[in-house]
Amino acid sequence: MSASEVTAARPGLPLAGLGRRAGWWVVRYGPAALVLAAFVLLWNWYAGVAPGEGRLLPTPAQVVTALGDDWNIIQPALLVTLGSAGRGLAYGAAVAAAFAVLAVAVPPLRRPIARQLTIVFCLPLAAIAPLLFLVLELPGPHVALAAISVVFPIYISLAQGLTARHEEWEDLRAVTGGGRGRYFCSVQIPASTRELLVAARIALPTAVLGTTLAEYFGGARGIGVLMINSLAQLNAPRAYALGIVITLVCALSFALVELVARALPWTEELTR
Amino acid sequence: MSQATTTGAAGTTTTGRVRRSRAGATGTARSQSDRPLRLLATELLAGIGPLLVLMLLWQVVYLTLPENQFLRGPLEAVEFAVSGENVGELAAALLSTFTMLLAGYLIAVLVALTLASVVTASAAMARAIMPLAVVLGVVPVIVITPVVIMLVGRGPATSITVCVMITFFSCFISIVSGMRSAARGIDDLAAVLGGSGWRRLVSVRLPSSVPGLISASKLALPASLSGVILTEYIATGEGIGTFINLARANYRYVDMWGGIFVVVLLSVLAYSLLGFLEVWLGDRYVVRRSSR
């Protein structure tokens, strides 16, 4: 879509050679840069006139300063959160993979499994978080919420990838007489790389979100705990800095999946 | 694919069959838009069935862990939800929560529709707004909820704002892609035939954005509900989030389990309802393409 817009815009520019290239950059990214600059300026202006003297809305400069000053507090908390999220992601992915393999092995079970996991997806996480704190020991709720939040998206992607039909390969298997397990490992798993990457792209940020949400309901260390404390102390610059850190972590996970996708050329469609 | 399109274009008598075969591919029910009530029943059953399985598992866990003092069984929870002593309080809390959710959804959809109309009408606006929308879409709203509370305060506006922020992005992206994908050929045709910009928006682009909008609202539902409950818990002190946490703090575990059960039940019902609308309206508004 954007590629066609770009090629359409190119010949219309009254610039040549290097100038044309620069003009293309201006046309392509100029409006976005303007809007972004306007956004930051508006924020800066409003932070000056807003009530609360910077305790509710800090200026962008204050946020960057807080990010630098509080990094020695934020970094360990981030590691704790990422650790819980990683464990949750591993458990959730294992459960999802087990269900996906079951769906491949027993086709009639596909729809019931999908329906059952949809219910897990429907659970409002903030409503069941208090329960987990009653039932599990402390890092437990943080891990469990991350696991619960990733099971559904991972299962859906994996099942879609693994149960796709590959008629040529099925014919080949019928002719050469390959076993079911061999077919699964040599055809179905490699063919679902794309879906696996889609799953990773959704699940990585989701797991971090699940853990942080659980940390709001209790815990000793972690980004969510820091966030709640900053809210209680009205430490706005730190709260905003934490928000930016988590956003960057999510953006970084998107970029990471994107890089892996580019390294595997047959998953090209993902990067479209 | 091409055969289905030809029969679909040939006349109204065969569209039923085409719809049915398409619905068979998505795998929900035999007959679709012709029998909305039956479809609704199927979708609701598809939601309630797995919920019963979940309750069965819950009962099993309850029976196998008799010494756990926090656990309450599903039967006790259901009994509380039907005739407990605090059931009026529960109903008020649920009403408050779902009012916030509905208000947030309405605002998010209206803003998303307006912005998407602007973005699909002008390439320059698209280049200005889309990158910012994508950047803001990466921001995890649930995580920055405390920041929203600082900005907006501790009133109902906070719950609504968080719900809008969670719902808006996915709705916006779906509406834009819906408006762009289906409309290309028909939109050009309408332009050639002299349709005004406004007319093309109302008759071509808006209808083609409906299925994507419903799917996006459906998928954003659990997160939005979660966001509203979170703000109730840490800021506003109203609604089902506060009900559950007060029950926990006061050791009224039956109330807590009952509240959680009802909110999960309502979440599943709302999700099934949107699933029904997705299939039903999707059948009516989808634009069949001649080739892929």
State the total domains in chain B: 2
For residues B82 and B227, membership in a common domain is answered with yes
Do B7 and B143 fall into the same domain?
Answer: no
The pTM of this model reads 0.79
**Structure confidence at residue B98 as a pLDDT band (50, 70, 90):** very high
Positive or negative torsion for Cα A71, A74, A77, A78: negative
Co-location of B148 and B198 in the same domain? yes
On whether the CB atoms of residues A110 and A103 are closer than 8 A, the answer is yes
Stronger pLDDT, B254 or B102, i.e. the higher one: B102
Dig out the tokens for B97 from the structure. 């929560």
Most confident among A39-53, A147-161, B118-132 (mean pLDDT) = A147-161
**Which CATH number goes with the domain that contains B175?**
1.10.3720.10
Cα Dmax for chain B? 75
Domain spans, chain A: 2-49, 60-271
Q: Is the model's pLDDT at B18 over the cut of 50? A: no
Residue closest to B126 by CA, chosen among B200, B171, B199, B176: B176
Most confident of the following: B4-18, B99-113, B121-135, B271-285: B99-113
Pair (B41, B80) in one structural domain:
yes
Q: What is the arithmetic mean of pLDDT over B139-147?
A: 83
Query: pLDDT at position B117, please?
Result: 86
**What one-character-per-residue DSSP string does chain A give?**
-HHHHHHHHSTT----HHHHHHHHHHHHHHHHHHHHHHHHHHHHHHHHHSTTTTSSS--HHHHHHHHHHTHHHHHHHHHHHHHHHHHHHHHHHHHHHHHHHHHHH-GGGHHHHHHHHHHHHHS-HHHHHHHHHHHS-THHHHHHHHHHHHHHHHHHHHHHHHT---HHHHHHHHHHT--HHHHIIIIIHHHTHHHHHHHHHHHHHHHHHHHHHHHHTS-SSSHHHHHHHHHHTT-HHHHHHHHHHHHHHHHHHHHHHHHHHHHSGGGHHHH-
Which two three-digit tokens encode residue A196?
């696996």
A256 touches chain B (CB under 8 A): no
Mean pLDDT of the A136-150 span? 89
Residues B43 and B10 placed together within one structural domain of the fold: no
What domain range includes position B254? 36-285
Q: Is the same domain home to B56 and B173? A: yes
pLDDT at B125: 80
Does a structural domain hold residue B256?
yes
Q: Quote the pLDDT of residue A91.
A: 95
Q: What proportion of chain B, given as a percentage, has pLDDT over 90? A: 6
Residue B292 belongs to a domain: no
Question: Between residues B44 and B6, which one has the greater pLDDT?
Answer: B44
**CB-based contact, B151 to chain A, within 8 Å:** yes
Note whether residue B180 is domain-resident: yes
- Mean residue pLDDT of chain B comes to 78
Q: How far is A235 from chain B (nearest CA, A)?
A: 10
Give the C-alpha separation, A93 to A109, whole Å: 19
Q: What kind of fold does domain A60-271 have according to CATH?
A: MetI-like fold (1.10.3720)
For residue B8, the model assigns a pLDDT of 33
CA–CA gap between residue A95 and residue A34 (Å, rounded): 46
pLDDT in tens, A82-97: 999 999 999 999 999 9
What is the average pLDDT across B216-245?
87
Over range A95-103, report the average pLDDT: 90
Residues of B in contact with A27 (CB under 8 A): 127
Both B11 and B89 in one domain: the answer is no
Residues of B in contact with A223 (CB under 8 A): 143
Summarize pLDDT for B108-118 with one digit per residue, the tens.
999 999 988 88
* Residue A120 pLDDT greater than 70, yes or no: yes
B56 by Cβ neighbours in 10 Å (0-12 / 13-18 / 19+) ranks as exposed
B8 and B146 belong to one structural domain: no
DSSP state of B201: I
Residue B291 falls inside a structural domain: no
Least confident of A11-25, A170-184, A237-251: A11-25
Q: Which chain A residues touch B132 with a CB distance below 8 Å?
A: 32, 35-36, 39
Answer yes or no: do B48 and B8 share one domain. Answer: no
Which of A36, A130, A246 minimises the CB distance to B143?
Answer: A246
What is the value of ipTM here, to two decimals?
Answer: 0.77
Kindly state whether residues B167 and B28 are assigned to the same domain: no
**Residue numbers in A near B243 (CB within 8 A):** none
Question: Do B118 and B258 sit in the same domain of this protein?
Answer: yes
